[in-house]
Structure 1
């Protein structure tokens, strides 16, 4: 297994785990892998641990092998004491070297680093230690605006004890000033919470990927991470999160807007939903195209269009036939009319008509649909085919389904 370069060391493998953004107990399971790089082989031996055990008591020492798709590798979770001299761009292929990597089986939270600060809010907390000394249970930021609503960050400096936050700092996003919303209000949000690495000038973003959009409503006004970051990792100056008793937290909040209009679209087979056009003196048609008389179906005006000598690549070889919106500007802006239709050239001798079925959405900009090569001119003019009788032909459009907005 190829191991890319390490990005950053932390003290404790558990530091890279954040609990579920819902405030409940979440137990993560890890695999500790010793990767032995020798001249001719690579051996992966795994032992299973649980983070319920404070000292990582071994639960099962049976070696197991996992295929690559069963786990994720967190390269930030390497044990620093085992690799004090490895540079960040080190080559992990050295002979007789071993390294310990944490595999996360229940992968719900992503932690990524980036240069770009959060889009909506940053707070710099100075004299952070005073929160600990004063035994402040939770600390709220000032309100900020995002997505048409007011929000606050809620920090538990020593962890949310009611939600498995012991040993961590907990961080949440809370909606404010909901009294002016309707009784059945809800706000759906995709958000990330941040902590700033002041040494490396990077922002670490924490996000729930299992349920990326959270619903804020009357009974649930706060979402976040009870195990946002371990106190050990946070307090370690080498990690850059708490420097000179100062930390910087942040948030990005993207509100998923509810539809302002509920549109009811009904699919139906329209009564009288057939356009029949008898074309006489066809041999005298010398223009590029001709339109049939207009027919109104479900309050929309339609017509058929034929190109006697074909159009585009079918020029001089085929008859082209299209169904067309006669007055597209009468449609409401952005409206689409779904139509499943059957275009037909009637056989006037026998009942085996030439039919083609298709479906399309008509809009103010997509006004026609049909077939450039509907029938060859050779077959059309062959009297034995029955399509043209006494220099006349019958073209039809049958509406199988049409959508109607109510």
Structure 2
């Protein structure tokens, strides 16, 4: 299977041992959830944090329109530095239970702060996943990613030794019913008094028996500037370790207090643990946020809203 996809994934051979093995239990439940994507928890390789993204389904035209499931690789933006490019060669795959090996494609991508998700997808025909016992057992599919080569371009170029380590095993469980919905509105009346170099966190609130908070960076975080950065975090606790997370579909909004035209962004399904949050480092430009006609900042008042649904759970096997 090439970067542009084909009608059948190709064998990657018995030497393909992935850095991440991600088992999606009851794959049909993921489809029924209607999410635009699902992202694994982070896995570590060669000093970087990565995750695998599944997009079900993707319509591509190969003579006729056929629904595909797409696999892509993403590098966590916090792993990246300004002016650095991480050139990666990797394999994206799905496990063939009959052949007892992974099938998929090899791809490459140049990851940087502006472009930290691979455009090269491994495309797997949806019907092959749903109908073939080779790729699905007891309703479950196993996806994988293996990093083959890394080269970092900064002021200088250097090769990075790719870790030879045990496979990280993760599981994804998506419910078909019994979803837990949460919403929280955070009103700040002192935005203009905030330290623009530091984040500010909302009061803690509870959804699904767990504690959450929203974090804002008023002028961007790390190397992101001139933007509002906005995230939702699941607070670490004894009940929820870094090995066990909740699968969440998240919408964050900055409310328009004048016109009712709120600025909103929505994720696919993301795995939240006590270690990491999800959101957008470039949520809304400061120019647009501070435009008086927009209603996002009225005086010193700003209103942020989080709406999310817990649709399942995840663990590292």
Query: So what's the TM-score if we normalise by structure 1?
Result: 0.34
Greater Rg by CA: 1
Larger fraction in strand: 2
Larger fraction in helix: 1
